[in-house]
Structure 1
Amino acid sequence: MKHASVRRAAAGLAVLLSTSGLTACGGAEGTVVEGPWEDVVAAAEEEGSVSFYSVMPDVQNKRLVAAFKKEYPEITVNLTRGAGELPARVESEIKSKAEGADVFLYSDPAWFTNQKGAFIEADGPSLKGWHDDAWAVKNKAILPSALPYSMIVWNKEIFPKGFKTWEDTVDPSVKGKLGLRTDVTTSIAGYLDFQEKELGEEHLVKSGKLSPKFYPSVVTMTQAVASGEIGVTNISTPSTVKQMQAQGAPIEAIVPHPSYWIEWGAAALDKSRRPNSARVFLDFMMSEKGQAAINGDGFGAAGRDGVEGAIELPEDARMLDSSSYTPERIEEANKKFKKWFG
């Protein structure tokens, strides 16, 4: 990410190859066409579909799928939306070479680094202009978005004066009205470390004394702010907030300084039954249109220049380095979480 300094490929495809003079390579999972990109697209259209597993919020998934469908109407996208359960599912599919995901998008780039031998090489036209630092695995797994995670979101009816700083979120008036995440994932472990380092442990101690309520996901927690179940949270994502605002939710949000950001990773899996559709879909994610669908309207920072509506990474942003979060470090974060929040 450039910072300011993120089965039908069987008989039908065989006929296509024999009649068009294409060359191919690959295993039993699917036939990877070699040759001009037009031939790859033709093979993808013959395959007819692509299976996309994603942890993106619904609004971004829908925008990406709609934009892809407009560009490639002959290829159907079968979307599976999930969360923390998806990596284990994809790992199982990789190990067994089972039917399932062709393209996977997940919120931990280190997962892709750890699985770097499981991906098809990105080789489409959208490589041109893609930032050198927008790779989780060079030439295989991309970083399609970087986005702020440290967002203060509040209900305007409960807190009409709003919030401007980190310190505002630990004011006594927030007691019983603060929402926090309940599970210490890699992203949350990084967030706790960020707060401890940048704001001081006392900030976390104060948060714990405010009788916070805990939620399993950003979406459910932001919904709780919108409904008035709680009044404020310090974790959300731009697309989640903007989607609820568009639906009339009485919420407002800021990204405080300094800010904590996360990146997503995405790749086409080499066990795919539809490898050419997977290649075309990943390439579209890298294109200006694909990046606009994911990051436009202020949803995130793009992996290439010229993406309308994408946001710039501020100089004081602190990016999660998910690769540094070993099981031992996650366990240490869990112990701190229990100490601060009970």
Structure 2
Amino acid sequence: MQTVIRIWFLQALILAGIFPSSINAASPDAVVEAAKKEGVLVFYTSMTVGQAQEMLNAFKAKYPFLEPKMYRAVGERLLTKIMTEVQAGRYEFDVVQSAETQAYFLKKRNLLMKYVSPETKFLPKPFVDPQGYWAAVYIMPNVIAYNTQLVKRAEVPKTNEDLLNPKWKGKIGMDPTKPEWFAWTLKQMGEEKGLAYMKKLAAQDLRFHPGLSLLTNLLASGEFPLVLNDYLHTAEEIKRKGGPVDWVAQNPVYTKFQPIEIGAKAPHPNAAKLFVDFVLSAEGQKMIASFARVPTRAGIPTNIQGLEKLTYVVDEFSAADDFNKNYELFQKIFEKR
């Protein structure tokens, strides 16, 4: 099962009142007073250090009695840290923000607290957990990024079949740690046809580098002309800084998202609630947009050209159950050739 969302549809959901209501929400004053006694916020994130620090600085300006602390790691490394701490009987994080795969596993292991921020009424229903354990901060459309000095926009592959053109052999960069697009494409094509396609794509001798920030910087430096499955915000950030990078999106565009959650045994739960509220607020979401990311809150403008034309497809949340199986299959086809 998948969810198809147009950017105009996000706004329509809000106008129609299709959003969850807060449950068991304490009064704002009571939360603030309790947070003053806690004095600290511990934030685990996969956002870039600079952007996360900007968010924390703005949060501290709003709540100067709280001292934010941050730990940053990406994807599975962040999940591994949390699980290692839990196995040792330590519950150190208050708030975690990472991809939906990690949120799914944490929820499944009962490591998240139920909290529906009052700000979720401004978010489309698909981006708020129906049980109240997470809410999405921003979405991450997967795009094809290209070096504008090496490739004309009209030449950039627009379809899966275009990627098989012999002229792209050895010229496509890809992150080997993110198999979600691979798994989603197999679903769309059907396993037999999809596997046959992936073997043809692997024969293109893709250039693997872990980490999309590294990969996109290599793209900008001319290491290769294309990056498959780049995040829109990663390409857009370098583009805004004057780098020779732009992007195109397939239609529909496979889209991941980044939820924010509170730990089930958060040491500072009231500080955590204030931070979640802040990140999902208009102020916090405007900051997200300033990072070239796509905020989930309706009515927040971005300067990303062409965004309104995209049709997003979000995979079923429980697809994370098959992450390890898909990762092994992905490696078998691509990395172990």
TM bucket, shorter chain: 0.7 to 0.9
Q: Cα offset for 1:101?
A: 1.2
- Return the alpha-carbon distance in structure 2 between the equivalents of residues 244 and 169 of structure 1: 23
DSSP-derived class of the 1:38 partner: helix
Q: Which residue in 1 is equivalent to 2:235?
A: 241
Q: Are positions 1:211 and 2:214 aligned together?
A: no
8 A contact 2:59–2:278 mirrored in 1 = yes
How many residue pairs get aligned? The number is 311
Q: Which residue in 2 is equivalent to 1:122?
A: 115
- Return the alpha-carbon distance in structure 2 between the equivalents of residues 170 and 321 of structure 1: 28
Pairing partner for 2:222 from 205, 225, 228: 228
Q: Are positions 1:264 and 2:258 aligned together?
A: yes
Q: Which residue in 1 is equivalent to 2:314?
A: 319
Q: Which residue in 2 is equivalent to 1:250?
A: 244
With over 3 angstroms needed to count, the CA separation of the structure-2 counterparts of 1:148 and 1:294, relative to structure 1, is same
Q: Cα offset for 1:52?
A: 0.7
- Return the alpha-carbon distance in structure 2 between the equivalents of residues 259 and 306 of structure 1: 21
- Return the alpha-carbon distance in structure 2 between the equivalents of residues 153 and 168 of structure 1: 14
DSSP-derived class of the 1:79 partner: strand
DSSP-derived class of the 1:136 partner: coil
Q: Which residue in 2 is equivalent to 1:20?
A: none
Q: Are positions 1:133 and 2:98 aligned together?
A: no
Q: Cα offset for 1:59?
A: 5.3
8 A contact 1:148–1:259 mirrored in 2 = yes
Q: Cα offset for 1:148?
A: 0.3
Q: Are positions 1:181 and 2:187 aligned together?
A: no
Q: Cα offset for 1:82?
A: 0.3
Q: Cα offset for 1:268?
A: 1.0
Q: Which residue in 2 is equivalent to 1:12?
A: none
Q: Cα offset for 1:102?
A: 0.9
Question: 5+ unaligned residues in a row in structure 1: which ranges?
Answer: 7-33
Q: Are positions 1:307 and 2:325 aligned together?
A: no
Q: Are positions 1:334 and 2:328 aligned together?
A: yes
- Return the alpha-carbon distance in structure 1 between the equivalents of residues 272 and 173 of structure 2: 38
Q: Which residue in 2 is equivalent to 1:144?
A: 137
DSSP-derived class of the 1:291 partner: helix
Amino acid at match of 1:46: K
Question: 5+ unaligned residues in a row in structure 2: which ranges?
Answer: 11-24
Q: Cα offset for 1:44?
A: 1.6
Q: Show the 5 A alignment for 1:194-205.
A: 196-197=189-190, 200-201=194-195, 203-205=197-199
Amino acid at match of 1:54: T
DSSP-derived class of the 1:110 partner: helix
1:61-88 alpha-carbon deviations (Å, 9 max, x no partner): 2442233233223323212110121112
Q: Are positions 1:47 and 2:41 aligned together?
A: no
Amino acid at match of 2:113: I
- Return the alpha-carbon distance in structure 1 between the equivalents of residues 96 and 331 of structure 2: 30
- Return the alpha-carbon distance in structure 1 between the equivalents of residues 165 and 249 of structure 2: 18
- Return the alpha-carbon distance in structure 2 between the equivalents of residues 278 and 310 of structure 1: 30
Structure showing greater Rg: 1
DSSP-derived class of the 2:71 partner: strand
8 A contact 2:127–2:135 mirrored in 1 = yes
- Return the alpha-carbon distance in structure 1 between the equivalents of residues 105 and 282 of structure 2: 25
With the length of structure 2 as denominator, give the TM-score of the two structures.
0.79
- Return the alpha-carbon distance in structure 2 between the equivalents of residues 152 and 337 of structure 1: 21
8 A contact 2:183–2:326 mirrored in 1 = no
Q: Which residue in 2 is equivalent to 1:85?
A: 77
Deviates more, 1:40-49 or 1:81-90: 40-49
Q: Cα offset for 1:340?
A: 5.2
Q: Cα offset for 1:252?
A: 1.2
Q: Show the 5 A alignment for 1:17-36.
A: 36=27
Q: Cα offset for 1:158?
A: 1.9
Sequence identity of aligned pairs in percent? 21
Deviates more, 1:318-327 or 1:224-233: 318-327
Amino acid at match of 2:224: I
Pairing partner for 1:38 from 29, 32, 45: 29
Q: Which residue in 2 is equivalent to 1:70?
A: 61
Q: Cα offset for 1:50?
A: 0.7
